Amino acid sequence: MDLKNSRICGLALRFNYDNPEDFRSELRSIYEQEDLSREEIGMLLALDFAYSSTFDEAREFDSSGTDLKLLAEGVYSLSYFYARNSEDKIAYLVSKLAVDHIARECEREQEINLKILHMMTSFEMGFGEETLLLFEELMKLEKYVPVQKRFEYYNDLGLVSTQLRTGGNPLRFYEKAKELAGSPVRALMVQLNMIDYLYSKNMFKEALKLLDKTESCNVVSINGYRLMINLKILLQMSSLARATAVADQLESLIRSHGEWTDIAVSYIFLGHFYVKIGNISKAQNYLNLLKSLPDESLTNYIRGETLILEASIMQAKGEHFRALENSVGAFETLTLYSTTSPHLKDFVNNLFGSISAVFTQLIRELRLKDSYTALHTLRVLKICYEFGKELELEKIDLFNLSIGAMLHDYGKVDIPFDLLNKPSKLTEEEFTEIMNHPVYGERYLRDLNFPIAIRDIVRHHHERIDGKGYPDGLKGDEIHKLVQIVAVADVFDALTTDRPYRKAITKEKALEYLEEKGDQLISKGLLSRFIRFAQHKEISIQEKEITVLWRSIISELFK
């Protein structure tokens, strides 16, 4: 239903707890003063139901005499109204309240209606488990779906099946929806959904061939959807001449229709287009538009895609590590959505080449300065990565830990070779210079725009839990868990490898040392976990393994 009563629209868009008395007063006033249709009365009942249920307020209208069918119709219209106005969180809230509180009391037809609605609002919010649960329930209700709802039923099952890998074939649902479309516009919508499915399967030529057979229509949202699919397929095929023409059409549509349902998605792919053709300032403009959107209009999908676009811009500027950090965050957010896979995986593969080249160069520089430090760096990286996995760290923490471990001693490139390898005791002045290497390393990474979490590891890996470390004398909880992991791995590897001024000790002796002195180094709980880990792990690595190691790490992060 397209809601035409401006007072009901205005009240619906003031759905908050700022002034409940005013809200309820306006609810009653509209009911008494306006000449309302049945649908509009249903909307008022739905607003009353949703508001009272959300904010634990008494109902304005007597619920005992409420027409349940009318309330269910009103809830459906209200949730749909919020979705059309990019208020996805409230649309989800309203549909959830309906499924939790009234669906079971409704007739089967309305129960199905409300569950389809809630499946799609859950889907838009990125709530995968909830969406799949409703998908499975609705699959069992197929024979009860009323004729007038079957198009929506099959089309929505196709959308969910495409994105969430339900195990079914989305094309089966789309074919049924197409048979039931009943109008050219709805048939086009299903066709576009089928093309998006082919895109998700990397079948770009097939998708484009099918898309070329479709024609634009006068429904803005569907025409915009068609242009967006066209643009993202052409970007994957590197067909930039055609992509330029499509981008021009999409921008023209945005200028003539300032607000429509998928405008955020159009910003995303226009941003990627401008990155692809090297116009970074224009890409940044679209990123800024995305970031300026109100929080309530941002679904998990939009947030994740925004991170990918930002990462693409960072990569184009040479900020490879910040780009990779963004990509890890995006991947965690977008794992739910299969249609993001082609451009995310393509981007990550390109990014890996840049990251690998940077690390190879860093190791080369360290080796030229001090061959021990180069291999020590790789061993500490591998220890930290394996220990981080055993601790079941979040992917973004595992990412920061791995790169921080890799770069923890990079500041030593500014320390004289003779000083690093002096076999006799260091003078106080010499030791002071050695103690500067974390500061040198952090400063270098800051100049390269590395993420702050990685810079903290580099600067603080010689801090100690008892406050006797350097360079800042941090203690206790002031030292981040990731920093503590690198600190203990650094000490463990140093103890078990030969140095110019002393011979290595055995792993057993090193662990005895950590058991005796380790609580001055890191927290007791983390120390106990590390000792158990080190007792059953053997870590060895050669410099030539760096590319293989990093491919393994990045593959794990994006699994």
Please state, in angstroms and rounded to a whole number, the distance separating the CA atoms of residues 81 and 121. Answer: 12
Backbone CA torsion sign across 534, 535, 537, 542: positive
What pLDDT does residue 154 have?
A: 96
Please state, in angstroms and rounded to a whole number, the distance separating the CA atoms of residues 113 and 71. Answer: 13
- 548 CA to centre of own chain: 26
Q: What is the pLDDT averaged over residues 209-216? A: 91
Tell which of 77, 106, 135 closes a domain: 106
User: In sequence order, what DSSP letters do the residues of 202-246 get, joined into one string?
Assistant: T-HHHHHHHHHT----S-HHHHHHHHHHHHHHHHHTT-HHHHHHH
* Residue 185 within a domain: no
The H-assigned helical ranges of 295-394 are: 300-316, 320-334, 341-369, 371-390
Question: Would you call 499 helix, strand, or coil by DSSP?
Answer: strand
User: Regarding predicted confidence, which is higher, 151 or 345?
Assistant: 151
* Residue 375 within a domain: yes
* Residue 100 within a domain: yes
The pLDDT of residue 270 is above 90 = yes
Please provide the average confidence, as pLDDT, over all residues in the chain: 86
Q: What's the pLDDT tens digit per position in 8-22? A: 888 888 887 778 888
> Could you check whether the bond before residue 471 is cis, i.e. omega within 30 degrees of 0?
yes
Structure-block tokens of residue 44: 């008022």
Question: Would you call 502 helix, strand, or coil by DSSP?
Answer: strand
User: Regarding predicted confidence, which is higher, 285 or 426?
Assistant: 285
pLDDT-based confidence at 3, cuts 50/70/90?
low
Question: How far is residue 160 from each of residues 120, 150, 163, 177, 387, measured CA to CA in Å?
Answer: 8, 15, 5, 14, 37
What pLDDT does residue 418 have?
A: 80
Asked which of 213-222, 303-312, 378-387, 498-507 is least confident by mean pLDDT, the reply is: 498-507
What pLDDT does residue 347 have?
A: 67
Q: How many domains does the chain have?
A: 2
Nearest to 275 by CA among 290, 288, 286, 259: 286
Asked which of 2-6, 88-92, 115-119, 248-252 is least confident by mean pLDDT, the reply is: 2-6
Please state, in angstroms and rounded to a whole number, the distance separating the CA atoms of residues 552 and 313. Answer: 25
Tell which of 106, 128, 149 closes a domain: 106
Structure-block tokens of residue 187: 């048939």
* Residue 231 within a domain: no
Residue 49 and residue 59 in contact, taking contact as beta carbons nearer than 8 Å: yes
Which pTM value belongs to this model? Answer: 0.69
* Residue 532 within a domain: yes
Structure-block tokens of residue 545: 């393994």
Nearest to 38 by CA among 70, 16, 8, 10: 70
What pLDDT does residue 1 have?
A: 46
Please give the single-letter amino acid code of residue 15.
Answer: F
pLDDT-based confidence at 346, cuts 50/70/90?
low
* Residue 31 within a domain: yes
Residue 220 and residue 260 in contact, taking contact as beta carbons nearer than 8 Å: yes
* Residue 404 within a domain: yes
CATH code assigned at 492: 1.10.3210.10
Domain that holds residue 377: 347-557
Tell which of 106, 122, 137 closes a domain: 106
What pairs with residue 502 in β-bridges? 499
Q: What's the pLDDT tens digit per position in 102-132? A: 998 998 999 999 999 999 999 888 888 899 9
Q: What is the pLDDT averaged over residues 524-543? A: 85
* Residue 168 within a domain: no
